[in-house]
Amino acid sequence: MKPGPRKGGGSAARAKSAARRRLAPDERERQIVDAAIEFFAEVGFGGQTRELSRRLGITQPLLYRYFPSKQDLVERVYREVYLGPWDPGWERLLDDRSIPLRERLIEFYGRYTAAIFNPRWLRIYLYSGLLGVGFNKRYLARLERRVLTRICRELRHEWGLPSPGRAPIRDAEMELVQGLQAAIFYHGVRKHVYGIDVQPATGRAIEIAVDALLAGAPRAMRRLVGGARATSGAAPRRAGAARTRSRSRSR
Domain with CATH 1.10.357.10 in the chain: 9-81
Q: How far apart are CA 213 and CA 215, in angstroms?
A: 5
Q: Name, in order, each residue with C-beta under 8 angstroms of 175's C-beta and a sequence gap of 6 or more.
A: none
What average pLDDT values come out for the chain (251 residues) when binned by 10 residues?
Answer: 46 52 90 96 93 96 96 94 94 98 98 95 91 85 96 95 94 95 96 94 97 91 71 34 38 42
For domain 9-81, the CATH class is: mainly alpha
* Stated pTM of the model: 0.78
Q: CB neighbours (10 Å) of residue 53? A: 19
Give the per-residue pLDDT at 217. 86
Question: Which has the closest alpha carbon to 33: 18, 140, 46?
Answer: 18
Give the per-residue pLDDT at 10. 52
241 close to 168: Cβ distance less than 8 angstroms:
no
